[in-house]
Amino acid sequence: MVTIRADEISDIIRERIEQYNREVNIVNTGTVLQVGDGIARIHGLDEVMAGELVEFEEGTIGIALNLESNNVGVVLMGDGLLIQERSSVKATGRIAQIPVSEAYLGRVVNALAKPIDGRGEISASEFRLIESAAPGIISRRSIYEPLQIGLIAIDSMIPIGRGQRELIIGDRQTGKTAVATDTILNQQGQNVICVYVAIGQKASFVAQVVTTLQERGAMEYTIVVAETADSPATLQYLAPYTGAALAEYFMYRERHTLIIYDDLSKQAQAYRQMSLLLRRPPGREAYPGDVFYLHSRLLERAAKLSSSLGEGSMTALPIVETQSGDVSAYIPTNVISITDGQIFLSTDLFNFGIRPAINVGISVSRVGSAAQIKAMKQVAGKLKLELAQFTELEAFAQFASDLDKATQNQLTRGQRLRELLKQSQSAPLTEAASVGEWLYNGGPYELIVLHFLLGVACYMGREWELSFRLGMRPWIAVAYSAPVAAATAVFLIYPIGQGSFSDGMPLGISGTFNFMIVFQAEHNILMHPFHMLGVAGVFGGSLFSAMHGSLVTSSLIRETTENESANEGYRFGQEEETYNIVAAHGYFGRLIFQYASFNNSRSLHFFLAAWPVVGIWFTALGISTMAFNLNGFNFNQSVVDSQGRVINTWADIINRANLGMEVMHERNAHNFPLDLAAIEAPSTNG
């Protein structure tokens, strides 16, 4: 018989009590009362939040939108065919969010940020809320950077800036999507991330847009969010917010983004469908009362961030479709009041063959010329007024039989302007749209310099031709090639190497000296051996040539006396030395070394001419190497002794001077003495 000991039993019971897990997992659950048409009514879920994600038994996800007294109205993000009444639902405690990363570039995703292009999953480690708060007033700054659309009519008369919200509005089949896709195509090379959101469009139409972007290489910087016409209303409602979340990811990383909503009319219709099924009170045109807030909270997320946040931007181009040109309908007037302007596309102009069919009279950009460069302001300042006057005059001219000369000239000019603004689809004028970049990168300077270099090169060729015809050796043209090489180096090769013609040598005396200082500060050209050869050639050759020329010339203009020399003045073809050349021999021998003197001969003359020419050639070669930042030729390395201390050399002195010149050309040059003192302050830590 087994003996039962009370102390062992008590120890076992005590151990089991200590190991007992008393944690209670509280789950907010509910029961499905009714499901159908993408809507489910749930009993329970007492602590659910508005907009919170809920999960059904079979895995379908929904969003709690209606919080009523005895039930919760949930919209389903799926067909919900497997959901049964009286099945359980649990709250997740999370607001709708999507993964975001750089890997989304070039992909086509749905409203849940899941890829639908058949190219596999997208890796992402970060998440963003689908509906996040828009940047506040302090987080923004005024719009000042132009966003080039690529369409002359828009860039000249309806300028759009980075961070702006510009509505594209018009009837169906008037080219609204064409304007949007041309804008995406024109951002190639502009460091702008584009997001195209297709809402309720045909799948074939979305595929056509994606194909166009792929063929033109625009998918590399574009994300396409697509919910086609057969998608549930919930996903069509969420698609614009998903696109905005993806664009915000890049905006808050100091990038410029462009987002296109094509189109918000379909989103409003999907939201109306959801609201009516949720039995919310209908308003004008059966839309719910908060349909304005639907679009305002979406479009307010477009902004130009302040300097403290990196000055990223999100430019929004929403598209709204009108019925028979009625811009006074509910949704168009709502979006017009939210955005910073609108581009109205007219059916009549489209049918008349004017494409893009922009009605300049009622199209406007409230940012205006703040998003234009000065050159574009001057060129296009009166263009919109002239076109408006032409349109009005053209309407009256239809009823007139005899027009005066001034009216005819105005009509002719207006017709030419109208033809000038015509463009074909998918052909944005990148060159015309980048006038600002062309001016910023020294475009006029480039034109002047190229014409100048072409002129001096032709003159050098002319010298060669004249020498050939006269039976002379081509030494004049060869000597002239030295300044041509130097001019080519500073005017053409250096700007190309630095990436902008705005870095070329200015065409002026003070600008040239400033260019020399900046060049030395940035490239340390004084310690470049090729530049040293050039200096030696120019100054040494000039010194010897000047001394030799002055000595020989003085013997040409007068005859020497018997006291000076037995030789008379220099005669043409004379081989004997004159007195002055003899004196020059002695002078050079004492100045440099004994063998530095030469007889007055052809070889001496050739040497005096070739020395500076070759030196200037080497200088041009040195500038050309510096243009591409090839600093290996620079003798500016510091010498360090065995203790690791720097031995002051001329290189260190020049480097210190370069530091001063470089800092003095910065914005905060007045802080340079303080910065230098802080750098040189001795350490007090041991």
Positions marked active-site: 366
Of 375, 201, 102, residue with least CA distance to 181? 201
- The structure tokens listed for 215 are 């063929």
Residue 136 · residue 130 · CB < 8 Å: no
DSSP 594: G
Residue 146 · residue 373 · CB < 8 Å: yes
CB atoms within 10 A of CB 648: 11
CB atoms within 10 A of CB 598: 17
> If you write DSSP's letter for every residue of 492-527 in order, what string do you get?
IIHHHHHT-GGGSPPSSHHHHHHHHHHHHHHH-GGG
Give the CA-trace dihedral at 645, 650, 655, 659, to 10 degrees: 110
Q: What is the Cα–Cα distance from 210 to 108, expressed in whole angstroms? A: 8
Largest Cα span, the chain: 156
Residue 162 · residue 315 · CB < 8 Å: yes
DSSP 670: G
Instruction: Show the DSSP H helices in 398-501 as ranges.
Output: 405-420, 430-433, 435-440, 443-469, 475-488, 494-498
Helix (H) or strand (E) holding 530: helix 529-535
Q: What is the Cα–Cα distance from 10 to 367, expressed in whole angstroms? A: 83
Task: List b or e across 417-433, with b for residues whose CB sees 16 or more CB atoms inside 10 angstroms.
Answer: ebeebebeeeebbbebb
Residue 38 · residue 76 · CB < 8 Å: yes
Task: Tell me the CB-side half-sphere exposure of residue 140, using CA atoms within 13 A.
Answer: 16
Residue 105 · residue 220 · CB < 8 Å: yes
Cis omega before residue 356 (within 30°)?
yes
Q: What is the Cα–Cα distance from 166 to 363, expressed in whole angstroms? A: 10
Residue 76 · residue 234 · CB < 8 Å: yes
